[in-house]
Every structure is written in C-alpha cells, then in structure tokens.
Amino acid sequence: MGRSKETYGKKEVKNKKIKKRKEKEKRKLEKKESGKQSFDDMIAYVDENGVIVDTPPDPTKRKEVDLESIEIGVPKKEFRDDFKNNQGIVVKYDEMKGYGFIIDSQTKDSIFFHINDCDFEIKQGDKVEFETGSGKNGLRAKNVKSIK
C-alpha cells in the first residue's frame, strides 16, 4: 500500500491551522508581558443618570429611597364614582345584545352601558348624559339620558 498523496487543499488547511496556533501563542505572550489586569480595572459603575462609567460614584450625590414607596407590578386602575352628569357620544351599540359603549367627552374614556340603564331608544352617534359607577369589569354608565 502506498502513501496517500497530500493534496494542495489539505496543505493549505494544515498551514492555516499552524499559523492560527502561532498567532494565538503570540497574543498570549503579549498579554503576559503587558502585566496582569487587576480586578479594579475590570469593574464598571453606573452613575445617578444610569450611564456606565469607570469611576466610582460620588457618595455625596447618593439619595435615600423609601423602599415602601416602590410598587412591584402594575398598579390597579382606580374606579371613580364621583363623576356626575357626564356627557358623551354613543360610539358602538349592539341592538341584539343590548349593550354598547359611550366615549366620555371630557376624559375620552370608553364606558360600557346596558340598555337597562337607559330610559329611551339608543342609536349609534347619539349624544347622551350619564353618571358613572364601577361595574363588573370597569366603568359603567348609569342613568343614561338623551341630549338633543
């Protein structure tokens, strides 16, 4: 059996590996000669504005934070029952199901209403006057009256 011939492509791959290994060894020696990096050289700090810097923060600019004032999670929306005689426009109304939504002219909130809370026949686009209260899933219009 004869020796397998080494092709040009195989020689190139072998030479590239040897060259890469030598470059890696050279970088390693340069790193050793330059001296050790201390742990302090690798630390980064965050200043009071949230910017990453290499100098430690000034302790005189430190502010105390009240831990109990920090809320974790999404705060719940407070429903207010103090709105009296709000005005708005019926933007959506489903006659078959008997409910719809009113856009409040002041707060631009979408408020749910049911046909049982109305004293007249409602159509989409009607201007209405109503009171708000808390419903099962949010604000709910009560005592809905027509404005001409």
Nearest to 129 by CA among 78, 81, 85: 85
The sign of the CA dihedral 28, 31, 36, 38 is: negative
Domains of the chain with bracketed CATH: 8-59 (no CATH), 86-146 (2.40.50.140)
pLDDT (tens, 9 = 90+) of the chain, 148 residues, equals: 556 677 889 899 999 999 999 999 999 998 888 776 677 777 899 887 888 998 888 888 778 889 888 888 876 666 555 556 788 999 998 888 989 999 988 888 889 999 888 888 888 888 999 888 888 887 888 888 888 7
Answer whether 0.75 is exceeded by the pTM.
no
